[in-house]
Amino acid sequence: MVDNRSSSIAVMKKRFAISTLLVLLLLVVSQIIWIRQVAERDKSRFREEVNASINDIVKYQATKQTYELFEIDPESPSITITAVNPDSLSANAKSYGSYETESYEENTSIANFLEAAMTEMLLEENTLDLNRIDSLFRNNFLHTSELSAYSFITKEKDTTTDSLYFGINAMQQLNDTTKGVYITVPLGTSGTYRFVSHFIFKPATDTRRMTILVIISGVAVVAVALIFFVLLVQLQRQMHRLYSQEKRVRGIIHDLKSPLSYIFSMLGFFEMEDKNNLLAEGKSRVKQLSDNIERMLSEVKLNEKKSAALQREPYDLAQHCREISHDLEMIYKEKDITMTFTIAREAQVIYVDPFYFDSCLRNLLDNAIKYSGDAPVITLTAGKEKNRILIRVADNGMGIPKKDQRRIFTSFFRSPRQSSVKGHGIGLSSAKQIVKAHGGNIGLKSEEGKGTVFTISIPDKQ
């Protein structure tokens, strides 16, 4: 079966990736909302600024023209207030409104009332000078360079009394009443007159503002994405280290059963064989078991490493093969085992970690015996090709189905055909990891009913 832990890690990574995408999506949406809010805020601020500027300029120009109309000296203007009995007014007298003080109204004062009344008188006789208003606006408003077009229009009720347009194709641009900002300034006291202005931004202005906002948002999104990516990579590395560590510990635990099996088998001979000799062998195997446990405990402390900590040293391949075969023949004493080793001179001594490489060879030879029936014929050959050591372990066993060969090195995988033979599906996975840690690779050729050949290829490091 497929390693459950690998599936769990894959599911965890997938969930983390989906969570990251959701967070980024929410961030993008929030940035879009923020950009729109900032754009609306900019537009509102511009409306306030242009409204204040136009109101001041129009009122100033109306006052200036009123002074000119009534020939008032602007250096020392004066207004005479005389108490008059309303009944004494002639029939031709005209009222320009009244100023009430009984209740408070915002932005009302006697000065504003008199200013509006005089503007009413002005507009009955004349109209506002839009060219002078335009000149004042362009000289005093700070953002005129950002405007594509604008218009100034004076109206008497719904009738246009005068108009001024600024900008290329201004009338065509300003025909679209859905764009831009409108400012209306009431004139006079009767509500008959008003000043209407319409402003449209240059597209480049909006684009520039939006570009800056988009860049800021983009930087924020990329920064968050990078943070999540770094976290994902770190999490993946940590999970890989933990998983690799767990696999190594599993492999070591798996290897503990060989000396235990040997001791168990040896004890069965106590009644029939020379006890002293067997006790010496048993002591040796117990020592090997103790060393394995010590090595396993050391491996647990290496969980911060990316791979197994190898301790390479000269390794007499023939001697270790004989020791392993002796152990296995004792464990599988009920089988008629034929085991031969053909090792070329240049492959007699290789540089590997003895603890791990013993485990690798033991797993391969153990499997070869286990799955080769009652009369296993095992052949181990070793040689050197192009600066690499090649070790082949061949058996006459049942073979591995083609459909299972691709998964044979997966932890806990066992072919359905092998269900009658005891095992846990750990040995070959551990062997592959050990060979890989030595910078090598392992492969196989197998044919059902004819046996299997495993080939180890490792660098010839000295």
Domains of the chain, by residue range, sit at 256-306, 308-462
Contact 431, 365 (CB under 8 A): no
Instruction: Give the homologous superfamily in CATH for domain 308-462.
Output: Histidine kinase-like ATPase, C-terminal domain (3.30.565.10)
pLDDT 10s digits, 10-26: 666 677 677 777 777 77
pLDDT 10s digits, 57-109: 998 898 888 878 777 665 655 667 677 777 777 777 777 776 666 666 666 67
Long-range CB pairs of 29-36, under 8 A, 24+ apart, other chains included: 31/217, 31/220, 31/221, 32/217, 34/213, 34/217, 35/210, 35/213, 35/214, 35/217
Query: Regarding predicted confidence, which is higher, 187 or 417?
Result: 187
| Residue 213, pLDDT score | 65
Across residues 296-305, what is the average pLDDT? 47
| Residue 305, pLDDT score | 43
Other residues' Cβ atoms within 10 Å of the Cβ of residue 52: 12
Query: Regarding predicted confidence, which is higher, 41 or 357?
Result: 357
Q: Which of 221-225, 305-309, 348-352 has the highest mean pLDDT?
A: 348-352
**In this model, does residue 390 exceed pLDDT 90?**
yes
CA distance 131 to 125: 18
285 falls in which pLDDT band (50, 70, 90)? low
Contact 298, 311 (CB under 8 A): no
- Average pLDDT of the chain? 78
Query: Regarding predicted confidence, which is higher, 442 or 300?
Result: 442
Across residues 332-344, what is the average pLDDT? 92
| Residue 338, pLDDT score | 94
**In this model, does residue 270 exceed pLDDT 70?**
no
